[in-house]
Amino acid sequence: MFAERLKNKVIIVTGGSGLIGNPILEHLKENGAIVINADISNKTNIESGNYACDITSQESILELIDFVIKKFGRIDGLVNNAYPRTKDWGNKFEDVTLESWRHNVDMQMNSVFYICQQVLKVMKQQKSGSIVNISSIYGVVGNDFTIYEGYGGTSPAAYSAIKGGIINFTRYLASYYGKHGIRINCVSPGGIKDQQDFSFIERYENKSPLKRLGRPEEIAPSITFLLSNEASFITGHNLMIDGGWTAI
């Protein structure tokens, strides 16, 4: 039954080789989708569904879309999961340079704008399609900086601005393209366990209603659902997958 959910749907996933991206790829495939993993670390291999794509490059995005259209004739879904960032991404607010801020906004938010714009041209012609953008709890609520105190870390200032912008951009697109039969939604994960400092893990889990960080594979099923026809009346929505973090 589940293998029929996305049967033969052609879906692009940006950043599909990463921590969250890989489980997304696998879950989409398990549900019958034809998945293109668009990741800068890839070597293009048509048979395995891997495509070398730099989402910060307009040319690379256009080449990706052209490749998919020539190969499959359509684009049924897009998951904007890639997360490019500068080497100084972890700097505290007072140490962030304007150049760094601009660069990160350009790489993350502006790349989402451009790939959405180009893919939506295809979906508009098809009169169908679904996009899922990946945001974060920190695009919705303010940061709890006490969870970083044990090791002197922080949450990047640009992260909250970018992720908050992506959520409202999702709503804009949903309103704009709904009449064309296209749905655009957003998923906002909470903290995902990934070799973080022990003090961070302890403080985060202590606050979380479910008393733990999330697992990468817990994000994927919601994305599959939102891309499927089971979510045919859902658009402009931001789904929190956060163990209750934003409920308190």
pLDDT band at 97 (very low <50, low <70, confident <90, very high): very high
Distance from C-alpha of 131 to C-alpha of 13, rounded to nearest angstrom: 10
Distance from C-alpha of 69 to C-alpha of 71, rounded to nearest angstrom: 5
Q: Which residues contact 125 (CB under 8 A, 6 or more apart)?
A: none
- Left (φ > 0), alpha (ψ -120 to 50) or beta: where does 8 sit? left
Q: What is the pLDDT of residues 103-137, one digit of tens each?
A: 999 999 999 999 999 999 999 999 999 999 999 99
pLDDT band at 2 (very low <50, low <70, confident <90, very high): low
Distance from C-alpha of 23 to C-alpha of 69, rounded to nearest angstrom: 25
3 has a pLDDT exceeding 80 = no
Q: Which residues contact 140 (CB under 8 A, 6 or more apart)?
A: 164, 167, 188, 238, 240, 246
Q: Which residues contact 158 (CB under 8 A, 6 or more apart)?
A: 89, 96, 100, 101, 104, 105, 108
Query: Averaged over 143-168, what is the pLDDT?
Result: 96
Q: Which residues are catalytic?
A: 159
Measured in degrees and rounded to the nearest 5, phi and psi for residue 3 equal -65, -20
> pLDDT value at position 47?
86
pTM tops 0.85, yes or no:
yes
Burial (CB count within 10 angstroms: exposed 0-12, middle 13-18, buried 19+), residue 45: exposed
Q: What is the pLDDT of residues 45-65, one digit of tens each?
A: 988 899 999 999 999 999 999
Distance from C-alpha of 133 to C-alpha of 195, rounded to nearest angstrom: 25
Q: What is the pLDDT of residues 186-235, one digit of tens each?
A: 999 999 999 999 999 999 999 999 999 999 999 999 999 999 999 999 99
Burial (CB count within 10 angstroms: exposed 0-12, middle 13-18, buried 19+), residue 33: buried
> pLDDT value at position 46?
82
Query: Averaged over 88-100, what is the pLDDT?
Result: 96
Q: Are 113 and 169 in contact (CB under 8 A)?
A: yes
In the numeric block, which tokens belong to residue 123?
């979906």
18 has a pLDDT exceeding 90 = yes
